[in-house]
Amino acid sequence: MTNLPRSSFQPPLRMLMGPGPSDVHPRVLAAMARPTIGHLDPAFVGMMDEVKVLLQAAFRTGNALTLPISGPGSAGMECCFANLIEAGDTVIVCVNGVFGGRMKENAERCGAKVVLVEDEWGKPVDPAKAEAALKAHPGAKALAFVHAETSTGVASDADALCALARAHGALSIVDTVTSLGGIPVLLDQWGADGVYSGSQKCLSCAPGLSPVSFSERAVGVLRSRKTKVQSWFLDLSLLTAYWGGGAKRAYHHTAPVNALYGLHEVLLMLHEEGLEAAWARHGAMHDALKAGLEAMGLGLLVTPSARLPQLNAVLVPEGVDEAAIRAQLLARFGLEIGAGLGSLAGKVWRIGLMGQSATPKHVMACLGALESVLAGRVAAGAGPAAAARSLFG
């Protein structure tokens, strides 16, 4: 008993500019500190209905089956696969980074026959390859892909990929964890079928919730399942009785009440700003960061047409110990950036400009801090000056 801690945990103040979580606004932290009420309290049920409407607007969809799963983005991913896929189904999975690989893992665990469409890490999914796979496997149940690959900073063409899936009678399963709130996510325009996201990337909420949305077509597939969803917790037919039921709402699990206050608040803030304005802000902060990095002599991994503004994979200069640089940024400036994963480990840093971390303050602080820890290797003063010109003329 002598080793029991005696004081509260006090997290250090950080600037979160990695692949998520991003900085959480004090308004959201305040919302999460409000009194816990019962998850079937009429007041809470009213808030759940508001969260659904706010999520539909954020996803640009009229999908009735739109709700936050109680779990991180990975739970949303699992929810899509577990509900839409049955053993024996053929699923085409596009892999161009870490998260496509996890989709493959999910599809396999559902008993699917997986057909891989592989593209190099750092390149977008090639729609021509996806189309060839759909043609070669005419009975495929779904085409799954990651819209914004956080492991590389690459955007794939969700509009084209969803259209291809539809044209071949397959469902589309789309990962929008890093895209929602940062770049256009247009579910109805795309005709996307099973979509999941996360709370802690461009929405800038605390981690732990995963918004999902399912089209009418996907709901039809759910209704005609031959077997029960193998996950009780993620079974949408049970979840909708909790999230969809109005007055006759049935207990399923105890919703993370205070976490949902946070989601309600970030969605409110997103719509106060305006979705278009939020997308434009992410774009402008990316332009400024890029101008600064280039002025310092640092390059980006991804070709300009496929770059995600909210996740910048920066090439580590020859001879630099990338982990030591990240450790110095954290120790000296409280600044967190991300490391490269998989085949990009040691080769790139990942600088996130997500949600509340996509501000001029973050861009300038990051460039100044990078310049100081890379002193002698990059041109002094050039980065922040170029970013300031990009931001303020």
Q: Contact residues for ligand PLP (CB under 6 A)?
A: 20, 72-74, 77, 99, 146, 148, 150, 175, 177-178, 198, 207
Minimum CB separation of residue 311 from ligand PLP in Å reads 8
Please report the DSSP string for 251-309 in residue order. Answer: --S---HHHHHHHHHHHHHHHHH-HHHHHHHHHHHHHHHHHHHHHTT--BSS-GGGBBT
Please report how close the Cβ of residue 99 comes to ligand PLP at its closest, in angstroms: 4
Residue type, 341: L
Closer residue to ligand PLP in complex, CB, 99/243 = 99
Least Å from the CB of residue 155 to ligand PLP? 11
Question: What whole-number distance in Å separates Cα of residue 29 and Cα of residue 262?
Answer: 7
Q: Which residue is nearest to ligand PLP (CB)?
A: 73
Could you give the CA distance from residue 83 to residue 264 in angstroms, rounded to a whole number?
A: 26
Least distance (Å) between residue 375 CB and ligand PLP: 32
State phi, psi for 111 to the nearest 5 degrees.
Answer: 85, 15
Nearer to ligand PLP, 99 or 214 (CB): 99
Minimum distance of ligand PLP from residue 77's CB (angstroms):
6
Tell me the Cα Rg of the chain. 21
Angle between helices 42-59 and 257-273 (to 10 degrees): 40
Judged by beta carbon, residue 208 or residue 383, the one nearer ligand PLP is 208
Considering the complex, state which of residue 181 and residue 198 has its C-beta at the smaller distance from ligand PLP. 198
Q: Is 206 or 296 the residue whose CB approaches ligand PLP more closely?
A: 206
Half-sphere exposure of 271 (CA within 13 A, CB side): 15
In a 3-state reduction of DSSP, which class is residue 135?
helix
Choose between 207 and 317: whose C-beta lies nearer to ligand PLP: 207
Query: In the bound complex, what is the minimum distance in angstroms from residue 146's beta carbon to ligand PLP?
Result: 5
Nearer to ligand PLP, 127 or 153 (CB): 153
Q: Print burial letters for 180-199: b (CB count within 10 Å at least 16), e (below 16).
A: bbbbbbebeebebbbbbbbb
Residue 28 beta carbon to ligand PLP: minimum distance, rounded to whole angstroms: 16
Q: What is the DSSP letter of 164?
A: H
Q: Which spans in the chain are helix H?
A: 26-32, 42-59, 73-84, 98-109, 127-136, 158-167, 187-190, 216-223, 236-243, 257-273, 275-295, 322-333, 360-373, 382-392
In the bound state with ligand PLP, the residue whose beta carbon lies nearer, of 63 and 156, is: 156
Which residues make Cβ contacts (< 8 Å) with residue 30, sequence separation at least 6? none
Q: Is the CB of residue 133 less than 8 Å from the CB of residue 117?
A: yes
Cβ-in-10-Å burial (0-12, 13-18, 19+) of 169 comes to exposed
CA proximity to 350, closest of 382, 326, 334: 326
Closest contact distance (angstroms) between CB of 278 and ligand PLP is 18
Q: Which residue, 63 or 179, has its beta carbon nearer to ligand PLP? A: 179
Q: How far is the CB of 355 from ligand PLP (least distance, A)?
A: 13
Point out which residues pair with 115 in neighbouring strands. 92
Of 96 and 178, CB closest to ligand PLP: 178
**What are 156's two structure tokens?**
């794939």
Closest distance of CB 108 from ligand PLP, Å: 17
